[in-house]
Structure 1
């Protein structure tokens, strides 16, 4: 991993840690946020995965329109650090542990 890749990775982790802490407070069954990225095509290649404990927790999150809240939170957090995500909702998936 190049030095510049490490900087990007740290930036992503810092942003998603804040998002995770915010989301943990608001949604039962939400466990963590993780990601994958191809550094040569960041930020387009960034994939964010929100993980839930059960299918019911995930369904409740979706029913409460949690996706919009999380997508907005992620977008704002990346904007603050100067990273523009063009279609953040397509870069986020919601999965079960």
Structure 2
């Protein structure tokens, strides 16, 4: 299979275009960086705090929903249906 190798000028232009793109990208990030590093807005901080509290509340609700599953309810019902221990029975157990 024959492959046509381009002239040296075509390869040189391609390499220079690639390097020019890298330099442009580097300069763009250097110029753009100080404007991005501004202090956070107080409104944004309030929003973050609000959503953080909402997320914590939802996590607590999810945990209680998981605890209210069948296994947890059955164990609570089983404990409630057991016969309460009277004082006489506790004295007999200590002997």
Q: TM > 0.5 between the two?
A: no
Larger fraction in helix: 2
Q: TM-score, normalised by structure 1?
A: 0.25
Name the larger-Rg structure. 2
Q: TM-score, normalised by structure 2?
A: 0.25
Larger fraction in strand: 1
